Amino acid sequence: MNPLKWIKRREAYVRQREQWMQDLMTAGQVEEGRRKFMKMAALAAGAAAGASFVPHSFTLVDVVNANTQVGQQPFTFAYISDSHLYEKTLNERFVRQLERAVADVNALDPQPDFILYGGDLAQLGQPSELKLGQQILKELKAPVKMMVGEHDWFFDLGDLWKEMFGAPYYSFDHKGTHFVTLMSVNEKDFWTAKKLTPMQRMQIVAGLDDGRQSRFEVGEEEREWLRRDLAKVPKTTPLVVFSHSPLYKYYRDWNFWTEDAEPIQALLHPFKSVTVIHGHTHQVLTNRIGNIHFHGMLSTAWPWPYAPTGLPRLTVQMNRPDPFNQTEGMGDGAITVNKSGYVDMRYDMWNRNPLIVSERYLASNGTQDAPPKTTLPSY
C-alpha cells in the first residue's frame, strides 16, 4: 500500500475546506474575515497558507504499524462490503463507489491473498443489481470470497444469489487458519401470513428501522452444520468467521444483532483464538467477548450512525461523517492475520488516514495501542 495515495486524498479534503474558509474570509462574509483578512493575506503571501491548517472536523492520524512479532508469517486479505447497488441509470454514485473500492484493493502492493465481499451487494435484490455487482467485482485481481447480506436475499430468498455465487455458507483453510463464512441474515417468516409480494418483503427488510421484519438469525440447521464443521478442526487452529450481521447483540431495532448469537458464540469459545469479521453496520465497530474478537467492516455506499444504545465498550468511534462530502465515513480495508491467529483490522477510510484496530488493542482490553479518539462523536 502506497501511503502517499492516502496522504494525497486526505490533503485534497483538507484543502477543499480551507479553500471554502479562505473564500469566506476574503469576501469579508464572516466577522473573522473582516478583522483578520489583512493578516491572512500577508501570511499567504509568505508561504503556503493552508499548510498549517488543521480543521476541527478532521483528525490527522499517524499510520500505526501492525503488531507483528519476530519470525511469524502473517498474511493479509482485503475486504469490500455493503455496496447496495441500484441499477446504474438510477444511482451512478453507488456504482462509482464500489468501483473506487475495487481500484483501491487492486492497487494494494503486495496483493492480498484474497478478498472478502461482506454482503449487501444489491440494494433490493434485483437480478440487474446483483449482475452489475458481479461484473464490477470481476475486475478484482485477487480471488473473491462472497458473503450474502439481507439486501441480496429477500427478493427471491437467495435463489439468484446462490446460482451466481454458490453456497451461502461454507468453510475453507488458508495458511493454517480455518475460515468459516456464515449466512446470518435468515428471518422468521413475516410475509406469508400478510400475503406480501417479494418486492414488499424486500422493501421491509431493506428498511433498517422497519419493525415489521424479524430479527436476523443463523438458524438451527446452519448452527448444526457449523458444529459439525468445527468438530473436525483442532482447538489450537486460529479461527476466522465471516458473518454479515454482528455475531453478538448490539442494537435490536436495527438488526445490529443476531438472535442466536449465544449458541454460536458457545461453539466458538473452545478455540484458542477466534475473530469475527462482519458487515451490515457500515461503521468502525470493535468488540471482544472472551476469546472472540469482533470487527465491523466499512460500507462503500453510506455510513450508518452509531446506535443510541449498546455500543461495545472497546469501540473507538469513527468521526461523525461530514454531510457535505459524499464519500465520508466509507471505504474498504485490509486484515492481517498474525501468528497468534488474531488480526489487525485496517480501515482504509476515504478522505482520512487509515485507522488500525490492532490485536494488541483488543488483547490488552483496550489498555494498549488504542486507536485515536474521535473529535466528533455521535450526538
Instruction: Give the interface with another protein as residue ranges (CB under 8 A).
Output: 17, 20-21, 24, 29, 56-57, 86, 90-93, 123, 207-210, 253-254, 302-305, 307-308, 320, 323-324, 326, 376, 378-379
Residue 368 zone, left/alpha/beta (φ > 0; ψ -120 to 50; rest): beta
Residue 82 contact among Fe ion, another protein, none, beta carbon within 5 to 8 Å by kind: Fe ion
DSSP states of 184-215: --B----STTTT--HHHHHHHHH-TT-TTS--
Identity of the residue, 92 or 224, whose beta carbon is nearer to another protein in the bound complex: 92
Per CB under 5 A, 280 contacts Fe ion: yes
Complex with Fe ion: residue 120 or 344, whichever CB lies closer = 120
The partner in contact with residue 29, picked from Fe ion, another protein, none with C-beta cut-offs of 5 to 8 angstroms by kind, is another protein
Residue 17 sits in the site that holds Fe ion (CB under 5 A): no
**3-class DSSP assignment, residue 313:** coil
Q: Shortest approach of another protein to residue 212 CB, angstroms?
A: 12
| Residues near 285 by beta carbon (within 8 Å), at least 6 away in sequence | 246, 250, 294, 295, 296, 312, 315
What is the C-alpha separation between 147 and 170, in angstroms, rounded? Answer: 10
Enter the DSSP assignment of 306.
Answer: P
Dihedrals φ, ψ of 36, to 5°?
-105, 0
CB of 197 to another protein, least distance (A): 17
Please report, as residue ranges, which positions from 136 to 155 form the binding site for Fe ion (by CB under 5 A): 149-150
Which is closer to another protein, CB of 106 or CB of 317? 317
To the nearest whole angstrom, how small is the minimum distance from the Cβ of residue 289 to another protein? 25
Type and span of the H or E element at 177 = strand 177-181
3-class SS string, 252-273 = HHHCECCCCHHHHHHHHCCCCC
Kindly list the strands in the beta sheet with 239-243, ordered across the sheet, starting from the edge strand earlier in the chain. 170-174, 177-181, 239-243, 274-278, 292-296, 286-289
150 or 348: CB nearest Fe ion:
150
Which of 120, 129, 152, 222 is in the footprint of Fe ion by CB under 5 A?
120
Q: How many residues bind Fe ion (CB under 5 A)?
A: 5
Q: How far is the CB of 100 from another protein (least distance, A)?
A: 17
**Which of Fe ion, another protein, none sits in contact with 208, Cβ below 5 to 8 A by type?**
another protein
CB nearer Fe ion, residue 14 or residue 122: 122
Task: Name the binder of 172 from Fe ion, another protein, none, CB < 5-8 A by kind.
Answer: none
Residue keyed to cell 484474497: 114
Q: Choose among 330, 328, 317: nearest CA to 375.
A: 317
Find out whether 216 and 259 touch, Cβ atoms under 8 Å.
yes
Which has the closest alpha carbon to 300: 323, 324, 282, 281?
Answer: 282
Rank residues 82 and 222 by Cβ distance to Fe ion and give the closer one. 82
Query: Closest distance between Fe ion and the C-beta of residue 150, in Å?
Result: 5
Smallest distance from another protein to CB 261, Å:
20
Distance CA 315, CA 71 (A): 30
Task: Mark the segment that binds Fe ion (CB under 5 A) among 14-22, 119-127, 165-173, 270-278.
Answer: 119-127
Q: Which is nearer to Fe ion, 6 or 347 (CB)?
A: 347
143 or 305: whose CB is closer to another protein? 305
**DSSP string spanning 54-112?**
--TT----PPPPP-PPTT---EEEEEE----B--TTT-HHHHHHHHHHHHHHHT-SSPP
The percent helix, strand, coil of the chain (3-state, each to 5) is: 30, 15, 50
- In angstroms, give the least distance from the CB of 369 to another protein: 28
Q: What does residue 320 show for φ and ψ, rounded to 5 degrees?
A: -55, 130
CB of 186 to Fe ion, least distance (A): 13
Q: Which x/- pattern, by CB under 5 A, does the window 57-96 give for Fe ion?
A: -------------------------x--------------
Least distance in angstroms from the C-beta of 28 to another protein = 12
Residues near Fe ion (CB under 5 A) are 82, 120, 149-150, 280
